[in-house]
Structure 1
Amino acid sequence: MSRVELIRAILSRLDENVAVDWSKTAEGTPTRYAIIDDLLPEEITRRIHGCFPPQAEGFRVLDSFREKKRQAFDLSNRPELLADIVYALQSKPVVERIGELTGIEGLDGDPTLYAGGVSMMLPGDFLNPHIDNSHEATRRKYRRINSLFYVTPDWVESNGGNLELWDDKVSEPVTIVSTFNRLVLMETNDRSWHSVSPVVAGPPRCCVSNYYFSEASPNGEEYYHVTSFTGRPEQPLRRLWCSVDNAARLFARKALKLRRRADAGYVQGRAQAEA
C-alpha cells in the first residue's frame, strides 16, 4: 500500500468517525481524547508492525529516572512502509480532517518529526507521568494533539505499556490499552498529565507517534515549558527530584538558550515528508 493509499484509508476511517465526541475527557482528568479502532486493514497494520526491527535494533535508547524507551526519528534507512505511515499521518489532508474532528483551527503537522517518529518499549521500559513540551522546535507553535497509532498484534492490558491519563494531582489514572490497530488522539496542554505504564510482558510494544501544532495557545494565554515529569503516586522522592530537574531544564532552555539535541530525523524529515 503506497503513502497515497494509506492517506485515503485513514481519511475513510476518520470519515466513519465524524461523531467523535472530542468534548469528553477521561473521567477525573482535564484531558480530551478520542479512540479510533481498526484504523487500517488488519493485514496492512501487521505489515507495518513487521517493519519494526526485533528488539529495537538501531533505535536510540532513552534511559533515565524519567523514562526508558527506544525511538527512531530518522526513517531513511527503514522499510519504506514505516516512513509512509508516519508521514501519511502527517499529511495535510489527514491533519486537516483531524482538525475538523476536534474543532481545533489552524492545526499543522511537523514533518521534521521534532518529537515524533516510531518507538518501541520492551519489558522494563516505562514513561513516567509528564506534560509534553509546550511547543515545536521553533517555539512558534503550541503542541495541541498527540497521535498515537499502536501496531503490536494481540496486545493485552496485562502486558503493561498502556497509555495513562491523569488528574491534576497525578493521583489516579485512566488507562487506555495499547490495542493493535488503535489510533488515539490525545489533547496536549499545560495540564495534560499522561504516562505509559511499565511494560511487564509480551513482545516489544510498537507505536507510530505524531504530533500536531497550532499558533493558538490551548488555553488562550502565552506560556512555555519543557517536557515536565513527575513520579507516580508511590514515588514521592522521585516527584521531588523531578520538580528540581524540571526547573533546571527549563532554566537551561530559557535563560541559557539551550535546545534539545537535534536528531538526524529532524534533517531527514522534510525530505521524506515531501517524497
Structure 2
Amino acid sequence: MDRKEIANLIYLKLTEEKEQLKAQFKETKDKIGYFYVDDLLPVNITKNIYDNFPSVHNTVARKSLREKKYTAYQLNKYGAILEEVTYAFQDKKVVNLVADICGVEEVFADENLYAGGLSLMGKNNFLNPHLDNSHDKDRNRWRILNLLYYVTPNWKLQNGGNLELWPEGIRKKPVTIVSKYNRLVVMATHQNSWHSVSKVQKNLVRCCVSNYYFSNTPLNSSDKFHVTTFRGRKSELVKDVFLQLDNFLRTSIRKIFKKGIRENPHQYKK
C-alpha cells in the first residue's frame, strides 16, 4: 500500500474514535496531554510493517548515559512500506485531525524526520526521563506533538520497553503506556512533558514508527528553547548529576551556535 491509502485508513480509525480520543486528551492536557488508540491499521498491514523493519545491525546505535537504542531515518535503505507508513502520518488530513483531537491549531509535519523515523530497542535498551528538543532542526518551529506507532506483535507490560509519562515530575510515579502491537500514542511535548522508556527485559526487539508535529507557537506560553534534556531516575542520583551537567553544556553550546557545532545527522536526506 502507498502512503495515501495508509493515511486514509488512519484517518478513518481516528475519525471513528474521535470523541473518545478528544476526551482522553482533554482529561490529561493540564499536565501531559496524551491519547492512544489500539488496532490502528488492519493486522496484515501492521505485520507487513513489522516484517520489513531492519535488524539492529542495519541501524544507527545510540549508546550513552542518556539512552541505549537504535534508530533508522534514511528510509530509502529499507522496505518501501516503512517510508510509506511513516509519511502516512504526515498526510494533511491526518495532521489536521490529530490537531483537532488535541485542540491545537497551525500544525505542521516534518518531512525531514528530524529525530523521527524508526526506533528499535532490544534487551537492556532504555531511554532515561527527558524532555524532547523544543524546536525543529532549523529552530524555526516549536515541537508540540509526538506520535509513536508500535508494531512488535504480542508486546506485553512485563517485556519492559514501555512508554512512561511523568505528569507529576520525575520523582513521582509515572503513567505507563504499554508499547502494544498496532497501538498509536500521541503525546504533547512542552516544557513539562517528561517521558521515558523503561528498560527492555526480554530478548525481543520493540519496533516503533515515530513522527513529530511542529507549530509556529509553543503549546504553553511559558515554554523556552531547550535541547533534549535528560535526567536520572530516582534511584540514579550520581547519574543524574552527570546528566544535568551534560544538559548545561549542550544548552550553552546551542546558545552560541544556533544549530549546534555540527548538523544533527538524524534526518532523512532525500
Question: When the two structures are superposed, what TM-score results if normalisation uses the length of structure 1?
Answer: 0.93
What is residue 170 of structure 2 aligned with on the other side?
Answer: 170
CA distance in 2, matches of 1:52, 1:213: 26
What is residue 25 of structure 1 aligned with on the other side?
Answer: 28
2:118 is the counterpart of 1:132 = no
CA distance in 2, matches of 1:108, 1:203: 34
Residues 185, 13 of structure 1: CA spacing in aligned structure 2 closer, same or farther, 3 A cutoff? same
For structure 2, the residue ranges without an aligned partner over 5 or more in a row are none
Deviation of the 1:103 alpha carbon? 1.1
CA distance in 1, matches of 2:222, 2:68: 32
- Residue 269 of structure 2 aligns to which amino acid in structure 1? V
Deviation of the 1:260 alpha carbon? 5.8
- 8 A contact 1:145–1:213 mirrored in 2: yes
Deviation of the 1:159 alpha carbon? 0.4
What is residue 100 of structure 2 aligned with on the other side?
Answer: 100
- Residue 108 of structure 1 aligns to which amino acid in structure 2? F
CA distance in 2, matches of 1:188, 1:140: 16
CA distance in 2, matches of 1:124, 1:222: 33
- 8 A contact 1:128–1:232 mirrored in 2: yes
2:257 is the counterpart of 1:227 = no
- 8 A contact 1:146–1:186 mirrored in 2: yes
What is residue 186 of structure 1 aligned with on the other side?
Answer: 187
2:245 is the counterpart of 1:244 = yes
2:201 is the counterpart of 1:200 = yes
- 8 A contact 1:165–1:192 mirrored in 2: yes
SS of alignment partner, residue 124 of structure 2: coil
Q: For 1:144-180, what per-residue CA distance to the aligned partner results, in whole angstroms no more than 9, with x for missing partners?
A: 1100000000000000000000134302111000000
- Residue 230 of structure 1 aligns to which amino acid in structure 2? R
CA distance in 2, matches of 1:161, 1:251: 31
Deviation of the 1:91 alpha carbon? 1.7
- 8 A contact 2:147–2:184 mirrored in 1: yes
Q: Percent identity?
A: 42
Deviation of the 1:221 alpha carbon? 3.9
CA distance in 1, matches of 2:113, 2:163: 21
SS of alignment partner, residue 18 of structure 2: coil
What is residue 255 of structure 2 aligned with on the other side?
Answer: 254
What is residue 160 of structure 1 aligned with on the other side?
Answer: 160
CA distance in 2, matches of 1:15, 1:168: 31
- 8 A contact 2:190–2:223 mirrored in 1: no
Residues 230, 264 of structure 1: CA spacing in aligned structure 2 closer, same or farther, 3 A cutoff? closer
- Residue 180 of structure 2 aligns to which amino acid in structure 1? T
CA distance in 2, matches of 1:53, 1:153: 15
Deviation of the 1:81 alpha carbon? 0.3
2:12 is the counterpart of 1:12 = yes
Q: For 1:90-146, what per-residue CA distance to the aligned partner results, in whole angstroms no more than 9, with x for missing partners?
A: 121211111111111001100000110001000010000000000001111111110
1:23-172 matched pairs, under 5 angstroms = 23-25=26-28, 30-54=31-55, 56-171=56-171, 172=173
What is residue 266 of structure 1 aligned with on the other side?
Answer: 268
- 8 A contact 1:73–1:263 mirrored in 2: no
Please tell me the root mean square deviation across aligned C-alpha atoms, in Å.
1.5
Farther-moved stretch of structure 1 (129-138 vs 15-24): 15-24
What is residue 3 of structure 2 aligned with on the other side?
Answer: 3
- 8 A contact 1:149–1:182 mirrored in 2: yes
CA distance in 1, matches of 2:125, 2:223: 34
Q: For 1:48-77, what per-residue CA distance to the aligned partner results, in whole angstroms no more than 9, with x for missing partners?
A: 0001123x1210000000000000110011
Structure 1 runs (4+) greater than 6 angstroms displaced: none
Matched positions, count: 265
Q: For 1:193-215, what per-residue CA distance to the aligned partner results, in whole angstroms no more than 9, with x for missing partners?
A: 00000001042000000000101
